[in-house]
Amino acid sequence: MAISATTSLLAAEPQPIALDWAATALVIIDMQRDFFEPGGFGETLGNDVSQLARAVAPCASVLAAARAAGILVVHTREGHLPDLSDAPPAKIERGAPSKRIGDPGPMGRILIRGEAGHDIIAALYPLDDEIVIDKPGKGAFYATELGEILANYGIENLLVCGVTTEVCVNTTVREANDRGYRCVVLADCCASYFPEFHEMGLNMIKAQGGIFGWVSDSAAVLEAMTPETLATETTNQRTMGASQ
């Protein structure tokens, strides 16, 4: 990709990647209270939810920079309809012996849309004009309108953050890769309940010359995402996409 007025080189593994920021979206995966806070679904499965906290500050810095630059921001939330009609029995059954999806918890019914626990944590809360995708599966493209939205905005590249690295982040990146998107996963903006899974999840993405995508971090993005090259043209790109 040739360097242009809205393109800059991002330090990444397995090699740097030139990103056209006007065709790039920030996708923040499942930064929800049910995964981060005591009493939520993550803890009921026996996980140490404090492991996820390390991703919040780096993700917030990238989110602030993307907002300032006018880059498209997409948030996702995993969860189900109150009647569980979009939750396969095999998925619900895997919660045993802890509380399962749909069971009452301290933040409402677990992983149910509209409940307090289903919502995004305060530090990364979406602005009113930002896109929020409610997804019933691990991947953000399955049974959602994400593909159509990205096409309408002319998006070709995804900066991916969120939790957990090896599950919903990895699944979304693999789905996106099959659909032709260039995916850059920001390592310090992602986390897992299991640090070793985090590392292996990143390794699988960048292995074999970047078989699923690239791995970078928040510092590299902030360095590459300069207001001088981004503000005007990315804002115009968003306006065009919204009118389609």
Does the active-site annotation cover 30?
yes
- What backbone phi and psi angles, to 5 degrees, belong to 4? -130, -175
How far apart are alpha carbons 146 and 47 in whole angstroms? 29
Who contacts 24 (Cβ-Cβ below 8 Å, separation ≥6)?
71, 72, 155, 156, 157, 158, 159
Q: Which of 191, 172, 152, 155 is nearest to 19 (CA)?
A: 155
Considering 59, 161, 168, 189, which one is annotated as catalytic?
168
The stretches of the chain forming alpha helices (DSSP H) are: 33-36, 41-44, 56-69, 89-93, 146-152, 170-178, 195-210, 218-224, 227-243
Considering 99, 134, 135, 161, which one is annotated as catalytic?
135
Does the active-site annotation cover 161?
no
Does the active-site annotation cover 129?
no
24 strand-pairing partners: 157
Catalytic residues: 30, 135, 168
